[in-house]
Amino acid sequence: MEQTMKDDQQNEKFIKMTTAPIGPLIIGLAIPSAIIMLISALYNMADTFFVSFLGTSATAAVGVSFPLMAVIQAVGFFFGHGSGNYIARELGAQNYTNASKMAATGFFSAFIAGVLLAIFGVLFLEPLVRLLGATDTILPFAREYLRFILIGAPFMMCSLMQNNLLRYQGSSFYGMIGMVSGALINIALDPLFIFVFHLGSGGAGLATMISQFISFCILLIASGKKDNVRIRFKYFSPSLANYREMLRGGLPSLARQGIASISGICMNNFAGSFGDEAIAAITIVQRVFMMAASLVAGIGQGFQPVCGFNYGAKLYPRVKQGFLFSMLVMTIPLIPLGILGFIFAPQIIALFRPDDTLLIEIGARVFRYQCYTIPLLGWVTINSMMMQTMGKAFKASLLAIARQGLFMLPLLFLLTPLFGFTGIAVSQPLADFGTFILSIPLSISVFREMKHDSPGAITIKK
3-state secondary structure 242-262: HHHHHHHHHHHHHHHHHHHHH
- Range scoring the smallest mean pLDDT among 54-68, 165-179, 327-341: 165-179
Average pLDDT over residues 250-257: 82
Q: Which residues contact 295 (CB under 8 A, 6 or more apart)?
A: 34, 37, 38, 333
Instruction: With a cut of 70, say whether residue 210 has pLDDT above it.
Output: yes
**C-beta separation of 198 from 208 below 8 A:** no
Instruction: With a cut of 80, say whether residue 24 has pLDDT above it.
Output: yes
**C-beta separation of 145 from 200 below 8 A:** no
Tell me the chain's radius of gyration from C-alpha atoms. 22
CA angle 161, 311, 383 (to 5 degrees): 70
Give alpha helix (H) positions in 169-272.
172-191, 200-222, 240-272
Between the CA of residue 157 and those of 101, 215, 228, 253, what are the distances in Å? 19, 11, 20, 13
Query: What distance in Å separates the CA atoms of residue 204 and residue 186, rounded to the nearest whole number?
Result: 8
Between the CA of residue 86 and those of 25, 80, 245, 391, what are the distances in Å? 21, 10, 7, 8
Instruction: With a cut of 90, say whether residue 380 has pLDDT above it.
Output: yes
Residues of the chain with pLDDT > 70, as a percent, come to: 95
Q: Which residue has the higher pLDDT, 245 or 453?
A: 245
Instruction: With a cut of 60, say whether residue 8 has pLDDT above it.
Output: no
Average pLDDT over residues 395-410: 90
* pTM, to two decimals: 0.80
Say which amino acid occupies 263: S
Rounded to the nearest 10 degrees, the angle between the axes of helix 240-272 and helix 96-123 is 40
Q: In this predicted model, what pLDDT tens digit does every residue of 164-209 receive, in sequence order?
A: 888 788 777 888 788 888 888 998 999 999 999 999 999 999 999 9
Dmax over CA atoms of the chain, in Å, equals 70
